[in-house]
Amino acid sequence: MAEPKRSDNQVRIGPQGRVVIPAVLRKALNLKPGDQLVIHREGDRLVLERRETIIKRLQERFRHIPKEISLVDELIAERREEARREGTEETR
């Protein structure tokens, strides 16, 4: 499918901050009414992504970690160690 023309990418912010995704982009990205997107800020940009895309990216990022390792347990252990160190520094 051809790339949308630059003018097809321009949107205006409407009442209540609403933005309409142009039809040519919705079609190119196969976006349907009711699809849910996640919006986040990257510097001075707004990025819209499908939730599934974010999940796949995170799964790929952490794919190298063995399944028997719990990142949650490691994070909790690190935080407890930091809290212990902070507690001993305050008593000095």
Banded model confidence at residue 17, pLDDT cuts 50, 70, 90: very high
Mean predicted lDDT score pLDDT of the chain: 87
Structural domain includes residue 45: no
Q: Does any domain span residue 24? A: yes
Sign of CA dihedral 39, 44, 54, 3: positive
Q: What is the pTM of this model?
A: 0.56
Band (26; pLDDT cuts 50, 70, 90): very high
Q: Is residue 22 part of a domain?
A: yes
Is 14:20 a contact under the CB 8 Å cutoff?
yes
Tell me, what's the pLDDT at 91? 61
Give a yes or no: residue 80 inside a domain: no
Q: pLDDT tens for residues 34-77?
A: 999 999 999 999 999 999 999 999 889 988 888 888 888 889 99
Please give the Cα distance from 12 to 19 (Å, whole number): 6
Range of the domain at 23: 1-30
Q: Residue 9 falls within a domain, yes or no?
A: yes
In a domain, 17, yes or no: yes
Answer yes or no: is 23 within a domain: yes
Q: Which amino acid is residue 18, in one-letter code?
A: R
> How many domains is the chain partitioned into structurally?
1
* More confidently predicted of 8 and 50: 50
d(CA 72, CA 26): 37
Q: Quick check: is 51 in a domain? A: no
